Amino acid sequence: MDRWLGMTAAALGRGIGDGDIDPIALTDCFLGAIDAHPFRDRIYSCVTPDRARAEAAAASQRAALGQRLSPLDGVPFSWKDLIDSAGTPTECGTALFAGRVPDKDAEVLSNATALGLVCLGKVHLSEMAFSGLGLNPKAATPPCINDHDAVAGGSSSGSATSVAFGLAAGSIGSDTGGSVRIPAAWNDLVGLKTTEGRVPVDGVVPLCARLDTVGPLCRSVEDAALSLAALEGGKPADLTNATLDGVRLGVIETVAMDDVRDGPAQGFQDAVVALEKQGATVEGIRVPMVADALALSPVLFTVEAYGTWRDLIEASPEKMFPEILERFRTGRNFSGPDYVAAWNTLNRLRAEFWAAAAGYDALICPTSPILPPNAERLLNDSDYYVTENLLALRNTRIGNLMGACGLTLPTGTASAGLMFTAAPNTEERLLRLGAAAEVALA
């Protein structure tokens, strides 16, 4: 049964459908692995065995009757602790939300449950989801799969590590500035950033509502496609006969390739060679509007985040990790007109960006220009924390600012991801491209 812990969610689903895997035994296998794991409490904020076993029992009955609800019916997933689940603490990684227990599931969890996914529980994150590093001294800091002294990436740190350490078949996180793609990349997983507005966020604790998205972290592109369908209550993308023949990819040369460190640089170079060998055309593209958009980040992200949570934060600021508190408070430095003007400018830059990218199937760059930083140093060196956090988020934020969908794939170099950025609401095309790229990179 231990082999189940390293299988893709899709493969587990096929095993259930073929009668080779019983959802009850599968869920017990994951629950046992969670309880026995030395990092259990650094990854899971709350395990829900009663819910998981009840859902697994129902999935087992459906499988026996040939009435499975979806390809993932009976497969156990974890959920980021900002996605509401009825009767279970959802505290968003902060003491400010201590004791917060919602009375109903978020819409995405409700959709997934309706299609048979088994909820194992909730996993840790960066405090209030406002960091790309995953360091959270106020709750817990999950370790990176490749370096247990390093952070796992954020803010969906527990989502990534629950899958990477074999404590969930897949996980659902959120991405406002890179929070799915960074931890996925640093833990050698697939991560899908969905287009803003595509996947419902009702019942998801907001950070920046205009930029918040929900998406999966998993072991394969097929898993990502099936997970997206479950979150939406829809039909998964058709990945059959996916190919790189005739695909045009543009390397984002503006900002995204600056100061890329050795590991991510090597992983990216090797990935480009692999993609070209399978028929893709890869060429550089200058998109100067990217630099202009990134310069708007302090206004766009912090004003909305602070405006949303100012009263709660300022009532008890001492409860917060100082680095996160300071990041929220940056929103005080800008006015309402600054924020409106920034969005007006960003909308213009988005139009220019997609016009420039129109000839490409996707744009690519390293998911993160850095490898996972040391947790202890981040905790004790404020300048290092700020520098590494901004670098970690830099490339992924391009997709958020441009309203894109995005996909990160492991390159074969530890903790170095390859990121595809594609036009809004083209997830199905992006997933087909990702499926072909996954084969090339393997």
Query: What integer best gives the mean pLDDT of the chain?
Result: 98
Question: Domain locations in the chain?
Answer: 2-232, 248-295+326-441
**DSSP-based three-state secondary structure for 47:** strand
Residue 71 has a pLDDT of 98
Share of the chain above pLDDT 90, in %: 100
pLDDT 10s digits, 225-270: 999 999 999 999 999 999 999 999 999 999 999 999 999 999 999 9
Q: Residue 131: name the closest of 165, 163, 168, 94 by CA.
A: 94
Mean pLDDT, rounded, for 419-440: 98
SS (H, E, C) 92-159: CCCHHHCCCCCCCCCHHHHHHHHCCCEEEEEECCCHHHCCCCCCCCCCCCCEECCEEEEECCCCCHHH
Residue 161 has a pLDDT of 99
Residue 170 has a pLDDT of 99
Task: Inform me whether the pLDDT recorded for 186 exceeds 80.
Answer: yes
Residue 145 has a pLDDT of 98
pLDDT 10s digits, 391-414: 999 999 999 999 999 999 999 999
pLDDT 10s digits, 8-50: 999 999 999 999 999 999 999 999 999 999 999 999 999 999 9
Q: The dihedral of CA 286, 288, 293, 298: what is its sign?
A: positive
Q: Which CATH superfamily is domain 2-232 in?
A: Amidase signature (AS) domain (3.90.1300.10)
Residue 381 has a pLDDT of 97
Task: Inform me whether the pLDDT recorded for 358 exceeds 80.
Answer: yes
List % helix, strand, coil for the chain (3-state, nearest 5). Answer: 45, 15, 40
pLDDT 10s digits, 42-97: 999 999 999 999 999 999 999 999 999 999 999 999 999 999 999 999 999 999 99
Residues belonging to the active site: 80, 155, 179
**Spatial distance between the Cα atoms of 243 and 239, rounded to a whole number of angstroms:** 10
- Whole-prediction pTM value? 0.98
Question: Residue 366 is encoded by which pair of tokens?
Answer: 């390293």
The one-character DSSP state at 442 is: -
Residue 1 has a pLDDT of 76
Question: Residue 199 is encoded by which pair of tokens?
Answer: 């996947």
Say if CB 408 and CB 365 are below 8 A apart: no
Task: Inform me whether the pLDDT recorded for 215 exceeds 90.
Answer: yes
Domains 2-232 and 248-295+326-441 share a fold: yes
Residue 325: band (very low, low, confident or very high) from pLDDT cuts 50, 70, 90: very high
Q: What is the CATH number of domain 248-295+326-441?
A: 3.90.1300.10
Residue 39 has a pLDDT of 98
Mean pLDDT, rounded, for 371-379: 98
Say if CB 213 and CB 175 are below 8 A apart: yes
Mean pLDDT, rounded, for 105-132: 98
Task: Inform me whether the pLDDT recorded for 329 exceeds 80.
Answer: yes
Share of the chain above pLDDT 70, in %: 100
Distances (CA, A) of 256 to 124, 213, 302, 384: 29, 22, 22, 20
Phi-psi category of 364—alpha, beta or left, where left has phi over 0 and alpha has psi -120 to 50? beta
